[in-house]
Structure 1
Amino acid sequence: MFENLFDIDPAASEARLREQIEQLERLKSAAAAAQARATAAWREKRHAAEAGAGVPAHNRGRGLATEVALARREAPQQGGRFLGLATALVHEMPHTLAALEAGVLSEWRATLIVRESACLSVEHRRELDARMCADAARLTGWGDKRIEAEAKRIACELDVAAVVDRSAKAARDRHVKVRPAPDSMVWLSALLPVREGVSVYAALKHAADTTFDDRTHGQVMADTLVQRITGRPAGQPVSVMLNLVMADTTLLGDDEAPAWLQEYGPLPAAIARALTGDAARDAATKALLRRLYRHPRSGQLVAMESKARIFPKGLATLIGLRDQTCRMPYCNARIRHHDHAVPAHRGGPTSAVNGLGACEACNYAKEAPGWSVTTSEVDGQHKAEFVTPTHAVYRSIAPPLPGPPVRRTSVIEGRLSIDLVTFDAA
């Protein structure tokens, strides 16, 4: 069925090219189903091996979700979703798995069905699976929203109390996050209970509906959000803590090397200078400088050491600026922990070389039995090597800071502030 699918003939007819795309899409779904079967089998083998080794039931499979994500070259935080999806499809939802294998469902749409059934008992989940996907042909033409809505409807019919209970518990997961957007913008998003979320949106919409100036409806809503949270009009400098790193030559306008803003990433030089200029001009804020030194070739910050078991604030900040995000390969999560690659109880030093920035999930995952992490610094490059219980090896190298490596780096403090000790390359 899938013969010669990867040979693309530019001279083929449009109909043939469409058929090829359709077949490749079905192949992707079939591959996802095979991945699910392999993942479920891997989980069973790991749990059996750990049971035989006397590992307590609640600790079995620890770190496996991270291994699954790494094998898929995905962010480790996604590993739990992949593992849960595979377990549910193989052991509890055979019709959904068959629809995925046949190419009727994509992996994401199968995930939506599994997600909406997660609060149900195994018996109810199997019933939802049969009602939803036993006749897979009826799913043809259904989009994400319809798949999700139908799964929700069936779940409510089977056990509305479980659905309501899950909604009540979901409020504990409320949070706010920020991620980079194109053109020096950011996406600021909040996961809120429906009542609060709708109320916030309604308040912003009302402000926009009753404001008449040269701004668009969306611009008024965005500006109102900023003003109500910060207490200052949009565009006016606000006393907040930001970590902005830039070369002194960039700060003074001698070159246009990009800066680096924590929680965002590379920032054009003109915008970085504008941020520091705003802080300098506003009486309620301040902009101070500290001098850091980088390796002349790699562009990374140089090492510091401490005799303390816990990373002191200055060293932890250095590691955070050096690593920028969690150092586990493929992970883009913000750094929550500053951890020893070689644990302190095994003689690992509290140093920049042995230190790693990690998100909470990845830090706990690498502490599972069978994992090992080593670090090194070669020619100014900080390298980390992660070895999993199945002996897979994954490596990551800390990214260089912005600007030409041979120049000094300034960290802007005050409104754009960090608490960092000054150190030199010695």
Structure 2
Amino acid sequence: MFDVVDCLADEAALVGRIAELERSKSAAAAEQAVLTAELDAKRRSREAAQGVPAARRGKGLASEIALARRDSPNRGGRHLGFARALVHEMPHTLAALAGGLLSEWRATLIVRESACLSIQDRRTLDARMCADQAGLEGKGDKRIEADAKAIAYELDPHAIVDRAVRAESERTVTCRPAPDNMTYVTALLPMPQGVAVYATLRREADTCGDGRGRGHVMADTLVERITGRPADVPVPVAVELVITDESLLGGDQTPARVPGYGPIPAAIACRLAADAAGDERSTATVRRLYRHPKSGALVAMESRARAFPTGLARYIALRDDTCRTPYCDAPIRHLDHAADHAAGGATSDLNGRGTCEACNYTKQAPGWRTTTRRDEDGTHGCQVVTPTGARHSSKAPPLPGRLGRRPSHLEIAFADILAWRTAA
């Protein structure tokens, strides 16, 4: 006979274990914060004893923490700031995190909303939010954030207003990949402008009436208002596409790659190429890339540029795709000499690597060292050594295409780069 009681007991045990593991995650986050703050203090103390100027003490530590946590350098800075605030200024929040009453993200929300306050006011907010841990029960992210904002405004309304004014200078637009060959284009705007933009798009959707969905109309309207072209017409800006000759011309289904975005299906890549070639307002140019037949590593590029540095820069950017620091997927902003040029490092594809701005500056901090290598299969490897001696490695991604196949009639299997832009 089916024993319902035993099954319910087993399910209860599973739920209990899930809850226990969640508390363990919070406790681990609290311990990471304590250790991070201790590392920060020890590093700064050692560098002060060595005579390092105060402004340069701790330089590169955020990136070192990010590597240890297998995270991006940007998040490393957040982890470091979070740890400093918790350990030195917010003991009640730290205790709630260690006890499993707060998740790491909810503790981060409290720290973030108190960042503009004085140390004394921050400690007051900390006590009011978390001294009575029972008061945290049942509160979700939005409630935690709202309560912290309300207390911060009560303690120092001028600081909150000043932060809002400063935030306007941080307005920006970003783009990042989304699933299924889509992108997130995000605009960080002052509240009145952001509400006005959204209201305008909603009004267009309300009055359209052509059968498209509401979100569809809003997205198309956004594209048309910004580019000045219908949403279904190829936009005349430079777009690069890496696709094998067999996918482009022979019907092969090997995915293509858009540098900085990632892989896209061959059929969609071919459609993009056809749209570019068929648009009289656009031009398509082709450049050959030669890849290793076993690893897919980029090993050479046909360049039409007269100046070698320009061609080399394009080669490195296409080879690396994103920042070469391990766990950092930021767009390439700088081309860096792994072995510094001032120390005799060569301006070559082997010694070159693409990095984001932050990672390039971090490398200049004392104790950091970067080396590069080329493996037997042609893959470009990069190793970062931190001041504590920890080693982290990354490899350049392979070009699209099936590996191990016989070379095509175009010598080694190559990919075509199609860049289209206005002919004018």
- TM-score, normalization: structure 2? 0.92
d(CA) in 1 for partners of 2:421, 2:272? 9
**Structure 2 match to 1:368:** 365
Within the candidate set 407, 413, 420, 1:414 is matched to: 420
Q: 1:311·1:350 contact (CA, 8 Å) conserved in 2? A: no
Matched residue, 1:53: 50
Q: Which moved more, 1:42-51 or 1:257-266?
A: 257-266
Q: What corresponds to 1:389 in structure 2?
A: 387
Asked whether 1:266 is paired with 2:263, we answer yes
Whether the aligned pair in 1 keeps the contact of 2:291 and 2:300 (CA below 8 Å) is no
AA of the residue aligned to 1:227: E
Q: Does residue 73 of structure 2 align to residue 67 of structure 1?
A: no
Cα separation, partners in 2 of 1:158 and 1:235, compared to 1, 3 Å: same
Rate the CA distance shift 1:311–1:35 in 2: closer, same or farther, 3 A.
farther
Whether the 8 Å CA contact 2:281–2:422 is kept in 1: the answer is: no
**Aligned with residue 12 of structure 2, among 7, 15, 19:** 15
Q: Deviations over 1:140-192 (max 9, x none)?
A: 11111111111111110111111111111112222211222221111111111
Could you give the per-residue CA deviations for residues 321-366 of structure 1, whole angstroms, max 9, x where no partner exists? Answer: 1111111111111111111000000110011110111111111111
Q: CA deviation at 1:297?
A: 2.4
> Cα RMSD over matched residues?
1.8
Q: 1:340 to 1:416 in 2, by over 3 A?
A: farther
1:357 aligns with 2:368: no
Contact conserved, 2:322 with 2:331, CA < 8 A, in 1? yes
C-alpha contact (below 8 Å) 2:282/2:422 kept by paired residues: no
Please list, as runs of the form range in 1=range in 2, the aligned pairs for 1:162-311 lying within 5 A after superposition.
Answer: 162-302=159-299
The amino acid of 2:385's aligned partner reads V
Tell me, yes or no, if the aligned pair for 1:276 and 1:416 is still in contact at 8 Å.
no
| Structure 1: stretches of 5+ with no match in the other structure | 1-9, 305-309, 418-426
Which of 25, 40, 43 lines up with 1:43 in the alignment?
A: 40
The aligned runs of 1:393-404 (5 Å cut-off) are: 393-404=391-402
Is contact 1:132–1:151 with CA below 8 Å preserved after alignment?
Answer: yes
Residues 110-160 of structure 1: per-residue CA shift (max 9 Å, x gap) = 000000000011011001101111111111111111111111111101111
Aligned residues: 404
Q: C-alpha displacement at 1:296, in angstroms? A: 2.6
What residue is the counterpart of 1:424 in the other structure? none
Which residue of structure 2 aligns with residue 307 of structure 1?
none
Which residue of the partner structure matches residue 3 of structure 1? none
Counterpart contact for 1:373–1:386, Cα < 8 Å: yes
SS of aligned partner of 2:298? coil
| Percentage of matched positions with identical amino acids | 60
Structure 2: how far apart are the matches of 1:385 and 1:50? 25
Q: Deviations over 1:12-51 (max 9, x none)?
A: 6111111111111001000110011000000000000000
User: How far did 1:415 drift?
Assistant: 3.1
Match of 1:421 in 2: none
Q: For 1:402 and 1:348, how far apart are their aligned partners in 2? A: 31
In the superposition, relative to structure 1, how do residues 120 and 246 fare at CA in structure 2: closer, same or farther (>3 Å)? Answer: same
Q: Letter of the 2:414 partner, please give it.
A: R
Q: State the distance in 2 between where 1:11 and 1:156 align.
A: 47
Runs of 4+ in 1 over 6 A off after TM superposition: none
Structure 2 vs 1, CA of residues 339 and 98 (structure 1 numbering), >3 Å: closer, same or farther?
same
Deviations 1:61-84 (A, max 9, x none): 000000111111111110110000
For 2:300 and 2:251, locate their aligned partners in 1 and report how far apart those are by CA, in whole Å: 28
Of 119, 122, 126, the residue aligned with 2:116 is 119
Q: Are the counterparts in 2 of residues 311 and 338 from structure 1 also a CA contact under 8 Å?
A: no
CA contact 2:255–2:401 (8 Å) conserved in 1: yes
Could you report, residue by residue, the CA deviation over 1:349-392 in whole angstroms, capped at 9, with x for unpaired residues? 01111011111111111110000000011120100010000000
AA matched with 2:357:
E
SS across alignment from 2:92: helix
Shift of the 33–136 alpha-carbon distance from structure 1 to 2, 3 Å rule, reads: same
CA displacement, residues 224-277 of structure 1 (integer Å, 9 cap, x when unaligned): 001111111111111011111111221113411111112311011000000011
1:300 positional shift: 1.9
CA contact (8 A) 1:298 1:381 kept: yes
Retained in 2: the 8 A contact 1:303–1:353?
no
1:303-342, aligned counterparts within 5 Å? 312-342=309-339
Counterpart in the other structure of 2:340: 343
Measured in 2, the distance between the counterparts of 1:372 and 1:108 equals 33
- Give, in whole Å, the separation in 1 of the partners of 2:9 and 2:54: 56
* In 1, Cα distance between equivalents of 2:191 and 2:243: 41
1:11 is displaced (CA, Å) by 10
After superposition, the Cα gap between the structure-2 partners of 1:303 and 1:403, relative to the gap in structure 1 and judged at 3 Å, is closer
Which moves more between the two structures, 282-291 or 350-359?
A: 282-291
Structure 2, unpaired ranges of 5+: 1-6, 302-306, 404-411
The yes-or-no answer on 1:155 pairing with 2:145 is: no
Alpha-carbon distance in structure 1 between the residues aligned to 2:71 and 2:13: 32
